[in-house]
Amino acid sequence: MRRKVERTDEEWKRELGDEEYRVLRQKGTEAPFTGEHYRNSDNGRYVCAGCGRELFSSDDKFDAGCGWPSFTKPIDDIEKKMDTGHGMVRTEVLCPDCGGHLGHVFDDGPKPTGQRYCINSASLKFKARK
Ligand code: FE
């Protein structure tokens, strides 16, 4: 599948920080309650740390108590993929432009969507609304 943003593994490794690379390119998960965006309640948008695409809005952010930034919905299209790793069946969430791993989505979120996008801070950069 052709991506809007394509890099070789070597290029990603060079461009991204270690933790960003581990999460985005190797589908890693940061330790809960450690990420820089978990407690952020400022107004703004969260963009992909890999390619800059706008992904989530602070309007849709909520505290799920799980230790990762959580959202009820993405700003627009987002890529989803079935993930059967670690002995679980989960829905993986990826950036549509660069294919970077963001986190997972669960259907135990609050109304109105009932969705909980559980996203690693390392995969996001925050842009404050002016
Ligand atoms: Fe991206």
Catalytic residue at 118? Answer: yes
Quote the ligand 1 centre to 3 CA distance (angstroms). 10
Compute the mean pLDDT over every residue in the chain, rounded to the nearest whole number. 96
Confidence at residue 107, expressed as pLDDT on a 0 to 100 scale = 96
pLDDT at residue 100 is higher than 70: yes
Residue 130 pLDDT > 90: no
Q: What's the rounded Cα separation, in Å, for the pair 63 and 41?
A: 9
- Residue range 106-126, pLDDT digits in tens: 999 999 999 999 999 999 999
Distance 47 CA to ligand 1 centre (A): 8
- pLDDT for residue 13 is more than 80: yes
From the candidates 51, 95, 98, 118, which is the catalytic residue?
118
Range of weakest confidence among 1-5, 51-55, 95-99: 1-5
Cα–ligand 1 centroid distance for 86 (angstroms):
24
Please name the helix (run of DSSP H) or strand (run of DSSP E) that holds residue 20, with its range, or none: helix 18-24
Give the dihedral sign, CA 17/18/22/23. Answer: negative
- Domain borders along the chain are 9-128
Question: What is the CATH number that goes with domain 9-128?
Answer: 2.170.150.20
Name residue 29's amino acid: T
Chain centroid to Cα 9, Å, comes to: 19
Give the pLDDT confidence score for residue 1 in this predicted structure: 66
CA of 96 to the centre of ligand 1 (A): 7
Q: What percent of the chain has pLDDT over 90?
A: 95
